[in-house]
Amino acid sequence: MVPEPLRDIIPPEIFHRARVYELHKMELFIWKNIIDLIVSLLELYFGFYPFVWGLAASTLAPLTRRELWISLIFVFYLTIYISLRCLPILIYDKCILELRYGTHRRFPCYMYLLMGLLCIILAQIILAPLTLLIVFSVQIMGFFFFLYFWLMWAAFTLFLVFFLPYLCVPCIGVQRRLPSGSPLYADVQVVCDQTGFPMNRVFIIQTKSMQYSNAYFYGSCCLKRIVIFDTLLLNKGQPVTQLQPYEIGRGLTNPQVVAVVAHELGHWKSGHFYKATLIMKLHFLLTMVLFGLFFHCPYLYEAVGFAPGVWPIIVGFLIVLRFALTPYLTLANFLMLWNLRRFEYAADRFAHRLGYSLLLRSALMKIYADHMSFPVYDTCYARWHHTHPTILQRLAYQQKLDEEAYFRA
């Protein structure tokens, strides 16, 4: 059944189609994880990684015994194996799930074979230089290579803070400051003046082909900015005659856009950008320290089947990331997703304090009505997979804030 808060905006037939698609996707997800678990156990039991490494070494034995070049052949064999490993999942999807859920096949079978071949070729183009870079870097940097990796990543993220708006935004569309004198400018100025956010840091992006409605806060100090996608505006802020038929009626009214901006201002006021950046840097530092400890542990290589004293660098990267770090990364992912959802609730609470509760709720429902994604998720599933609360959770949270405000009054 369509949830009560959404019955006025989602027809039952669309809800049913979205539900069928979600069931298809979830069953495929479960099947993929079961297959991955079984195959991973078999790989460890039968010594798969030493076998592939030995195969790569024997292939190059007449030419060289250097680890750098053996690693290249090892990755080549591994990508072919991974492509073949995906076949049971693809067969289950096409031969069982599509019949069960009545979804239509998008491509003929030979197209999937061609796409698999293309993936192998593209993987080689990307992974070959990356493999050479990893092996060469570890050989040059020595024992504490993982700390150098962390420092380079930290410097790279700082670079992104400064230059991301100039490097990535042009791929989405044309960014400019919100034009002064427009009705939207006057409405947004009210909430920005209320919170002390400078209007010259509010931007709008004229998208090229994106249909997703969005706005976000980004940056710090003089680089901070709130960016509004034109798809968030009613009819993209353009005359109806300039729109495609499916674009007419999509988007929010100006008061609803202001409520979304109030939510983004909540991220700014709460310092979420700084907190998220610090948490990510600490998380990556801890990941690299644990990585270094496991990488230099000889028992880990022996546990997967290598002879004592054989520590291939690229294999070490694979088994540490795929097996040894899994418990920590799983827990860290859960905690970081929880924290991101906490940030979203805090921003919603800030917008509520500014008096935008009803407008924010109507904006959320209108955005949902424009895109019609499936709204019902199990609470435990959402905690493990979602960066944002679901629309039902956000609507319920606004209702809770309204009730608390009423009883306080």
Which of 67, 93, 230, 264 is catalytic? The answer is 264
Alpha-carbon distances of 91 from 190, 326, 386, rounded to whole Å: 57, 28, 28
Q: How far apart are CA 409 and CA 404, in angstroms?
A: 9
Closest CA to 50 of 30, 77, 32: 77
Task: Give me the residues paired with residue 202 across strands.
Answer: 226
Q: How far apart are CA 166 and CA 163, in angstroms?
A: 5
Task: Give me the residues paired with residue 176 across strands.
Answer: 204
Q: Is 296 annotated as a binding residue?
A: no
Q: Is 388 annotated as a binding residue?
A: no
Angle of the 357-371 helix axis to the 326-353 helix axis, nearest 10: 130
Rg (CA), the chain: 26
Which of 43, 93, 348, 370 is catalytic? The answer is 348
Q: Taking a C-beta distance cutoff of 8 angstroms, is the pair 266, 348 a contact?
A: yes
The conformation of residue 306, written as its DSSP 8-state character, comes to: P
Q: Taking a C-beta distance cutoff of 8 angstroms, is the pair 332, 384 a contact?
A: no
The structure tokens listed for 77 are: 């064999």
Cβ partners under 8 Å of residue 392, min gap 6: 3, 5, 6, 375, 376
Q: Is residue 348 among the annotated active site residues?
A: yes
Q: Taking a C-beta distance cutoff of 8 angstroms, is the pair 255, 352 a contact?
A: no
Q: Is 4 annotated as a binding residue?
A: no
Residues with catalytic annotation?
Answer: 264, 348
Binding site residue list for Zn(2+): 263, 267, 344
